[in-house]
Amino acid sequence: GENVEQHPSTLSVQEGDSAVIKCTYSDSASNYFPWYKQELGKGPQLIIDIRSNVGEKKDQRIAVTLNKTAKHFSLHITETQPEDSAVYFCAASTPSGGSYIPTFGRGTSLIVHP
Amino acid sequence: NAGVTQTPKFQVLKTGQSMTLQCAQDMNHNSMYWYRQDPGMGLRLIYYSASEGTTDKGEVPNGYNVSRLNKREFSLRLESAAPSQTSVYFCASNPREGTEAFFGQGTRLTVV
């Protein structure tokens, strides 16, 4: 099955700095790559996603890049703010028996210091 | 529009007890999933249901059973709870393949 590796597990930055989280996946059939943000005590929520036919996507301070050849994708957050502090998960969606199953990385705890 | 609703939010079980975690979505989604979240392990898939009437095992199915009661509801059952099943359980749904998954608020389960 699909295997998603995510790094780093913890990332500490100063407010205003940029943060980058990287993920790799193993199954070349994966074609949908969402990123989720999980705040304390809540379920993960989608913040941005990218499909395999696109190399980059941006939404205000958040951007995601995808390199299909190398099987890796990254989340970039610019001008970080304290409210960006949360756990971030990457995922790869892979076809399996007629369905597409999201497989998640282990998460990155982002801490933004004021 | 409630989205994905999980009950209960918290539960403490004794080893060997059984219980069912309930999940319902009101978005008319076809696919539903049960994940468990443990520190440092991310979200691991227990079972999923691609559509009403079908269920399949995920990465960590041992000790669990599921029922897709109808299109809205997908329950997770622990027949004989073990301390290793102490975790936070998330239910999720999405309308079709390759789309955003919507998550419930989670059930924090402790088995003593």
pLDDT, tens digit (0-9, with 9 covering 90-100), for B19-76: 999 999 999 999 999 999 998 889 999 999 988 889 999 999 999 999 998 999 999 9
Q: What is the pLDDT of residue B95?
A: 83
Q: How many CB atoms lie within 10 A of CB B32?
A: 28
- Whether residue B3 contacts residue B28, with contact meaning beta carbons closer than 8 Å, is answered with no
- pLDDT score of A96 more than 80: no
Q: What is the pLDDT of residue A111?
A: 98
Tell if the CB–CB gap between A44 and B103 is shorter than 8 Å.
Answer: yes
User: What confidence tier does A13 reach under pLDDT thresholds 50, 70, 90?
Assistant: very high
Instruction: Return the structure tokens found at B61.
Output: 């199915």
Q: What is the pLDDT of residue B15?
A: 98
B32, two tokens: 């539903």
Residues pairing with B55 in the sheet: none
Residues with Cβ within 8 Å of residue B103, at least 6 apart in sequence: A36, A43, A44, A45, B4, B90, B91, B92
For residues A56-70, average pLDDT? 96
Of B43, B48, B59, the CB nearest to A89: B43
Q: How far apart are the first and last CA of chain B?
A: 36
The verdict on a CB contact (< 8 Å) between A42 and B105 is yes
Chain B interface includes A106 (CB < 8 A): yes
The residue in chain B having the minimum alpha-carbon distance to the alpha carbon of residue A29 is B98
Tell which of B33, B38, B45, B100 to mutate to test the A interface (max A CBs under 10 Å). B100
Distance from CA of A108 to the nearest CA of B (A): 9
pLDDT of A97 above 70 = no
Q: For chain B, say whether A108 makes contact (Cβ under 8 Å).
A: no
At residue B76, the pLDDT reads: 98
The residue of chain B nearest to residue A6, with distances taken between CA atoms, is B42
pLDDT at B24: 97
- Between residues B98 and B106, which one has the greater pLDDT? B106
**Residue A21: which of A3, A5, A32, A43 has the closest Cα?**
A5
pLDDT at A11 over 70: yes
Cβ proximity of B58 and B45 under 8 Å: yes
Average pLDDT on A64-79 reads: 96
